[in-house]
Structure 1
Amino acid sequence: MTAPQPAAPAQPPARAYDLLRDLWGYGSFRWRQGEIVAQLAAGGDALVLMPTGGGKSLCYQLPSLLRPGVGVVVSPLIALMQDQVDTLRQLGIRAAFLNSSLSAEGVREVEAALRAGELDLLYVAPERLLMEGTLRLLAGVEVALFAIDEAHCVSQWGHDFRPEYQGLGVLAERFPGVPRIALTATADDRTRADMVSVLGLEGAPQFVASFDRPNIQYRIAGKDNAKRQLLEFIRTEHAGDAGIVYCLSRKSVEDTAQFLSDSGVPALAYHAGLDHAQRQEAQARFLREEGLVVVATVAFGMGIDKPDVRFVAHLDLPKSMEGYYQETGRAGRDGEPSTAWMVYGLGDVVNLRRMLAGSAAPEWVRRIEGAKLDALLAYCETTACRRESLLAYFGEAYQGPCGNCDNCISPPQVREMTREAQMALSAAVRTGNRYGAAHLTDVLLGRDTDKVRQWGHHTLPTFGVGAEHDERTWRGVLRQMVSLGYLEAGEHYGLSATPKSRELLKGEVPFLLREEVLQPRRKTASKARAAAPSDLPPSAQPAFEALREWRGQEAKAQGVPAYIIFDNKTLAAIAALRPSSLATLGTVSGVGAKKLEQYGQAVLEVLGGVGEPA
């Protein structure tokens, strides 16, 4: 039975506000951070769903300082631990991690510091935490709290399921008096229920923020030479910006990264086929260099704190709305305008449908996974506000239009094409329900190819009945028919009519084709301007650029990402204020006492070397 939760005060203690100001340099909490801090500081548990960039880390880092002992953070990725520890040390917080990247001597040093009470926060991989030796080590010290980051990993329905996460229920048994907090940016109702059950959080309050990321513009288009489309998108809208491009296969990752590099876009590949050192180098370069594009499989980016990723592009369909939301959420953590861009085609739909049909999972599992894929495809094909559709999937009501998605900016046209859909079904059935989309398109267009003639399909009644439309239109029709379940792909990618298609053949339901429209293009921003926050006054631009150059040199000297020194938002605030004293500089949000002491004088000298704005 779950122990009753202590009654938490409505507000955190006064010391929490002192730490928030002195260490992080913030004058107030965001959203319900204060309530979460109060809950944990009082010894209670919590489950937190907060979008990427919403401030989840503070919810457990600050209570770890308020309570006696060390805060233990379960984190799934080495790169994330390193990034968080570097950030905390910049703030003057004693932090370390235990993972496979450490040497035996390094492990001994961290364990000695832990026993001596010299750590405020310790990051641990779930596999390491569940070792009996680690559990005994923690039992011998005072633990302030346990934070389970990326907690959706406990659920087999989560898009990043990690079996080792399911063992974390042991924390409630071995450390019954220690508060636990589970955090994630993405979880539907089923995943959330698993988090509660597996982690023993039945009595814990749930803090669920809005899933909306208003700064992200959602865009989806039909696939037509994906790499060329990607290059045009980057050159037109995101030249010089940092971005992540997701592909399903390792080969596609490598080919796309090479293509971008050959086309003058700084890009590198990341996938599980690379050795550990290569993956580490890719992560490190992405965090430390500006304007770099990483082309990766979905394993990349989970937990990456880089705030200035300006775009996330998908060249292949994700498998679920949860995966799509999590991956697109890696763009624009700093709140600045960013783009979630995706192209997809009939091949993507066919591949995912075939993978699902060929899965060895039980029928009930395939049914649920199929429903998740259906929801994603419906989102792709919708003509309504994308933000409204996306948030509705997570149970959040949103009154569109949002004005910041492709469907709102440039509403697609919809054509009633029931007759054409019936033609396509007829072509599939009459050719034996075993030919792919390309062959069916040839039959519908009346192309007298060798294959069409070989099989005698030029004699069919459906041969040439669709000649009034072009190939692109038929690709769209077939794609939507597979998406909506009127056609399904067989073992060799042949399309066959499904039982559901009868209602379409009988004219009982209409078939409405979403037609692609040209998307508006932004002028390409200069690399310098693209890095600056969108609300930075032009008069402050020289100061911002001077500070940014200084920050880059400082970060390189320390071997840390530039944003760990100061993020762009803080640099912009300093550039706009132009403080002439340490006291005034200390009033800027994001400038805590430790950073003021370490960097304050250098910042004032940089500003002193920049001419006064006109």
Structure 2
Amino acid sequence: MSGFKLIRSPMEALKEHFGFSGLREGQDRVVAAIMEGRNVLVVMPTGGGKSLCYQLPALCREGVCLVVSPLIALMKDQVDALVAKGIPATMINSSLSFPEQKERLSGMKEGSYKLVYVAPERFGHEGFMRALAEVDVNMVAVDEAHCLSQWGHDFRPDYLKLGRAIEAMGRPQVAALTATATPRVRDDILEHLHLEDPVTIVRGFARENLHFRITACDTHKEKYKRLYDLVKRNKTGIIYCSTRKKVEQVYEALSDLGLSVTAYHAGMTDAQREEAQNAFMNRQADIVIATNAFGMGIDRADVRFVAHFEIPGSVEAFYQEAGRAGRDGRDAYCELLFNHADLRTQEFFIEGVNPGVPLIVELYELLRKHCSAESHEVSWTLEEMAERLKCRNAMQVGAALSVLMRNGAISRHDVPGQRVKLTRVADPSMSGLKIPLDERAIREKEVRDREKLKAMTEFAYSAGCRQQWILNYFGEEGAVPCGRCDQCMALGVEEGQVMGEEETRVVRQALSGIARASVRQADGSWQGRWGRTKVIHMLKGSKSQDLLKTSLVRLSTYGILSSWSEDDIRQLFRAMQMAGLTKMSGEADRPLVTLSPKGNEVMMGRQEVSMIWPFARRSAAPDRRGQTRVRSTGDFAALGEFDEDLFMKLKELRNELAREAGIPAYAVFHNSTLEAMARLKPTTRRGAMNIHGIGERKAARYLDDFLEIIAEHCGV
């Protein structure tokens, strides 16, 4: 390869090509596994440096690394960045003319490139696969690998071609990478790619610098007010909207306020989208308002906030999009502006991408009946097809066309100079009833989509730590409260805080009651027998005739929480479920409560309780000087109105002092201590020393700086 020198040592190549002296946590294990020739599945949070995991090994060995990437804009960004570093890289996708594609394929055969980014649909072209047979492919890196799974939040049917394509290439080494994958999605990825003896590396989903918040908004006016506050405080961010129309409305509203904004959605031309993306990436615009078409692979490090104007369709989509904030490691804020009515938009989308077998067959018959006798083609738009079918949701027509294309019943191609596509029926003599549609898979996909929206809705209404809920959703064991989200802040929970003895005892009593109301399986797991309400009534010691007729009243845990109200026990159950201590089993119309494996370990005392105690409380304890100390946990409202602007100033000072001292931020003051300051606004040492978390040593070292900020803020 002319002009490019292989460096066999990954660490030397890292320094030479990327200017880094070391790898991040997790990257080192991935690079080592790839250099050993192992197939790998990598789950690493957004901003964790997944690209480097395959780029670096590619530079240390002969041959070409094929990178499968779903978006042309994403490919272009990656290729431009590599070429700027002097690394021979290119891309092959539909944006190139046939001569350009042919030229780059020739360059691959000649060894002119180290990394070649390829769109997944290329692997369905026989000519492309024939050309690859003459290329020395040392590895296939499957980026955004969750697109392989119908359980993933962004399933792309073209990704299903990869398993056969890798087989046809002689099974080169494979690295599959994604930021968001539940255990089920991971299993799907491994199954579709047929990976032999893979190494699965999950770095963890937690992002320690992200602060999650869900704000209930009854009106758009409230949403715009909150957006303005976010922008004023954080300046640089991304605002996600569910529809193109909403993007334009929010863009106009924020533009009218004189803010530096740009807009991005799939309805814009390629040139318009590129202009908008460049404006944001080049810092000509502080804020981009966009649909989910924006963001994959975006690498602007100083994004200080990500806001969702409406609820997204899945937890995976929410977390991936939120993860585009704070990639520089500094504090960033992720906020969902939640209104239950917005769920209608997501339900409309689910209907749109799940047309159902009757509509698919009806569409095919319509095309078969009206296609021309010579070319077998129809030149209708999606809207025209929807109108002829009397279908109110044109998205369903697009989804139905995709199903027919995957089954080989039709093909579609562009008309030069026009936006309309021609639809060609492969064999007009074939009845729609003969198309081999997988009805079971089609139904299952709709069920999966609705389950994802249900999970996102549960997250929006959840009462526990936001990040802990997300980590539990992704199957991460031992997740603890983050101490940074709105829920942790409201209840005064510190990062990783475990509950006290009394709270732990109550949780174990409740878990014990659930266990006794369940059946122990042969494998040690628990199977539920009763619904949540019945078990709550049992713990309360209810005397209702309905309960007295059951065997629950004979359990040793009957009435063990008799001093508690039924509502409080129900709230405790919600918190335990959010923390992954309990689970629901049985049929959808009769869910039964039982213990999770984690809940069993907590009940047995083999694992600490790591959940948010869902009851705000205010306590006071005399300190050694006999003065009453204000505890910064529990009922913060009793301390005074929360001043968020002051809190942010105090937090910025706290983080700066921690960086200078090389210590964790909480070692200066915990968030709850800062919040108590932001409510009490003490301007003297004596007043501040009444706040829990401010001892004599910390006061001597840090307090004066904080008092100065408070006095300046209050104009004292």
- After TM superposition, is the score higher than 0.5? yes
Alignment partner, residue 486 of structure 2 = 406
SS in structure 2 at match of 1:169: helix
TM-fit CA distance, 1:534: 10
Alignment partner, residue 463 of structure 2 = 383
Q: 1:535 to 1:93 in 2, by over 3 A?
A: farther
TM-fit CA distance, 1:269: 2.0
TM-fit CA distance, 1:315: 1.0
TM-fit CA distance, 1:520: 5.5
Say whether residues 1:113 and 2:236 are aligned partners.
no
Whole-angstrom CA distance in 2 between matches of 1:397 and 1:534:
32
Q: 1:233 to 1:296 in 2, by over 3 A?
A: closer
TM-fit CA distance, 1:285: 2.1
Alignment partner, residue 253 of structure 1 = 247
Q: Deviations over 1:414-454 (max 9, x none)?
A: xxxxxxxxxxxxxxxxxxxxxxxxxxxxxxxxxxxxxxxxx
Say whether residues 1:16 and 2:139 are aligned partners.
no
Q: 1:214 to 1:326 in 2, by over 3 A?
A: same
Q: 1:353 to 1:44 in 2, by over 3 A?
A: same
Say whether residues 1:131 and 2:211 are aligned partners.
no
Amino acid at match of 2:459: Y
SS in structure 2 at match of 1:66: coil
Alignment partner, residue 93 of structure 2 = 99
Aligned partner (choices 61, 78, 87) of residue 84 of structure 1: 78
TM-fit CA distance, 1:231: 4.8
Is the Cα–Cα contact under 8 Å of residues 237 and 522 in structure 1 kept in the other structure? Answer: no
Amino acid at match of 2:489: I
Whole-angstrom CA distance in 2 between matches of 1:533 and 1:70:
45
Whole-angstrom CA distance in 2 between matches of 1:211 and 1:340:
15
Amino acid at match of 1:394: F
Q: Deviations over 1:44-98 (max 9, x none)?
A: 2111100011111111101111221111111111111111112212322111112
Q: 1:328 to 1:240 in 2, by over 3 A?
A: closer
Amino acid at match of 1:315: F
Alignment partner, residue 201 of structure 2 = 207
Q: 1:264 to 1:533 in 2, by over 3 A?
A: farther
Q: 1:533 to 1:254 in 2, by over 3 A?
A: farther
| Greater RCO (CA < 8 Å, at least 6 residues apart) | 1
TM-fit CA distance, 1:411: 3.5
Q: Deviations over 1:187-215 (max 9, x none)?
A: 11222122111111253111111100111
Q: Deviations over 1:275-310 (max 9, x none)?
A: 222222222222222543121111211222222222
Q: Deviations over 1:382-417 (max 9, x none)?
A: 2211111111111113453312101111249xxxxx
Aligned partner (choices 37, 47, 57) of residue 41 of structure 2: 47
Whole-angstrom CA distance in 1 between matches of 2:232 and 2:86:
35
Say whether residues 1:521 and 2:644 are aligned partners.
yes
SS in structure 1 at match of 2:42: strand
Q: Deviations over 1:543-587 (max 9, x none)?
A: xxxxxxxxxxxxxxxxxxxxxxxxxxxxxxxxxxxxxxxxxxxxx
Aligned partner (choices 276, 279, 289) of residue 282 of structure 1: 276
Q: 1:293 to 1:121 in 2, by over 3 A?
A: same
Is the Cα–Cα contact under 8 Å of residues 300 and 327 in structure 2 kept in the other structure? Answer: yes
Q: 1:101 to 1:370 in 2, by over 3 A?
A: closer
Aligned partner (choices 393, 402, 411) of residue 473 of structure 2: 393
Is the Cα–Cα contact under 8 Å of residues 68 and 141 in structure 2 kept in the other structure? Answer: yes
Q: 1:44 to 1:500 in 2, by over 3 A?
A: closer
Is the Cα–Cα contact under 8 Å of residues 221 and 516 in structure 1 kept in the other structure? Answer: no
Whole-angstrom CA distance in 2 between matches of 1:153 and 1:534:
43
Whole-angstrom CA distance in 2 between matches of 1:350 and 1:288:
36
Q: 1:244 to 1:533 in 2, by over 3 A?
A: farther
TM-fit CA distance, 1:253: 1.0
Amino acid at match of 1:115: K
Is the Cα–Cα contact under 8 Å of residues 132 and 169 in structure 2 kept in the other structure? Answer: no
Amino acid at match of 1:121: L
Alignment partner, residue 603 of structure 2 = none
Whole-angstrom CA distance in 1 between matches of 2:124 and 2:37:
23
Q: 1:355 to 1:298 in 2, by over 3 A?
A: closer
Say whether residues 1:307 and 2:387 are aligned partners.
no
Whole-angstrom CA distance in 2 between matches of 1:80 and 1:534:
38
Q: 1:83 to 1:227 in 2, by over 3 A?
A: farther
Whole-angstrom CA distance in 1 between matches of 2:221 and 2:129:
48
Say whether residues 1:171 and 2:165 are aligned partners.
yes
Whole-angstrom CA distance in 2 between matches of 1:38 and 1:275:
42
Is the Cα–Cα contact under 8 Å of residues 269 and 294 in structure 1 kept in the other structure? Answer: yes
SS in structure 1 at match of 2:74: helix
Is the Cα–Cα contact under 8 Å of residues 94 and 118 in structure 1 kept in the other structure? Answer: yes
Aligned partner (choices 182, 191, 194) of residue 188 of structure 1: 182
Amino acid at match of 1:376: M
TM-fit CA distance, 1:268: 2.1
Alignment partner, residue 452 of structure 2 = 372
Aligned partner (choices 257, 264, 268) of residue 258 of structure 2: 264
Is the Cα–Cα contact under 8 Å of residues 70 and 145 in structure 1 kept in the other structure? Answer: yes
Aligned partner (choices 275, 285, 296) of residue 290 of structure 2: 296
Alignment partner, residue 236 of structure 2 = 242
Alignment partner, residue 557 of structure 1 = none
Whole-angstrom CA distance in 1 between matches of 2:103 and 2:232:
44
Query: Equivalent residues in 2 for 1:418-567 (5 A)?
Result: 521-522=644-645
Q: 1:114 to 1:375 in 2, by over 3 A?
A: same
After superposition, the CA RMSD in angstroms is 3.6
Is the Cα–Cα contact under 8 Å of residues 75 and 123 in structure 1 kept in the other structure? Answer: yes
Whole-angstrom CA distance in 2 between matches of 1:16 and 1:59:
10
Is the Cα–Cα contact under 8 Å of residues 261 and 285 in structure 2 kept in the other structure? Answer: no
Amino acid at match of 2:472: A
Amino acid at match of 2:211: Q
Query: Equivalent residues in 2 for 1:317-328 (5 A)?
Result: 317-328=311-322
TM-fit CA distance, 1:524: 11
Whole-angstrom CA distance in 1 between matches of 2:261 and 2:208:
27
TM-fit CA distance, 1:152: 0.5
Structure 1, unpaired ranges of 5+:
1-12, 413-479, 481-497, 502-511, 538-614
Alignment partner, residue 192 of structure 2 = 198
Amino acid at match of 1:385: C
Whole-angstrom CA distance in 2 between matches of 1:248 and 1:236:
19
Whole-angstrom CA distance in 2 between matches of 1:394 and 1:115:
41
Q: Deviations over 1:336-363 (max 9, x none)?
A: 2111111111212355457658954555
Q: 1:145 to 1:355 in 2, by over 3 A?
A: closer
Q: 1:321 to 1:202 in 2, by over 3 A?
A: farther
Amino acid at match of 1:309: V
Query: What percentage of aligned pairs have identical amino acids?
Result: 41
Q: 1:56 to 1:225 in 2, by over 3 A?
A: same
Is the Cα–Cα contact under 8 Å of residues 46 and 205 in structure 1 kept in the other structure? Answer: yes
Tell me whether 69-78 or 89-98 shows the greater mean CA deviation: 89-98
Q: Deviations over 1:450-498 (max 9, x none)?
A: xxxxxxxxxxxxxxxxxxxxxxxxxxxxxx9xxxxxxxxxxxxxxxxx9
Whole-angstrom CA distance in 2 between matches of 1:519 and 1:219:
16
Q: How many aligned positions are there?
A: 430
Amino acid at match of 2:466: R
Q: Which of the two has higher C-alpha Rg?
A: 2
Is the Cα–Cα contact under 8 Å of residues 316 and 343 in structure 1 kept in the other structure? Answer: yes
Whole-angstrom CA distance in 2 between matches of 1:409 and 1:74:
41
Whole-angstrom CA distance in 2 between matches of 1:236 and 1:327:
17
Q: 1:26 to 1:128 in 2, by over 3 A?
A: same
Whole-angstrom CA distance in 1 between matches of 2:656 and 2:270:
35
SS in structure 1 at match of 2:181: coil
Q: 1:261 to 1:105 in 2, by over 3 A?
A: farther
